[in-house]
Amino acid sequence: MRSKPSARCVAKKDPAAIAQLEVSYLAAAEATIHYDRRMSKALYGRDIPYVLLMHVGGLDARVLPRLLTLYRDKGFSFIRLEDAEKDSFYKNDLDLTLSPAPDTLEEAMRLRGLPASTRPKPNMELNAVCR
125 domain-assigned: no
128 domain-assigned: no
Q: What is the pLDDT of residue 1?
A: 42
pLDDT at residue 2 greater than cutoff 80: no
Residues in the chain: 131
Q: What value does the mean pLDDT take over residues 100-122? A: 89
Confidence of residue 19 (pLDDT cuts 50, 70, 90): very high
Confidence of residue 122 (pLDDT cuts 50, 70, 90): confident
Q: How many domains does the chain have?
A: 1
129 domain-assigned: no
| Domain limits for position 42 | 4-119
Which pTM value belongs to this model?
0.86
Q: What value does the mean pLDDT take over residues 41-56? A: 92
51 domain-assigned: yes
130 domain-assigned: no
109 domain-assigned: yes
Q: What is the pLDDT of residues 62-80, one digit of tens each?
A: 999 999 999 999 999 999 9
pLDDT at residue 107 greater than cutoff 70: yes
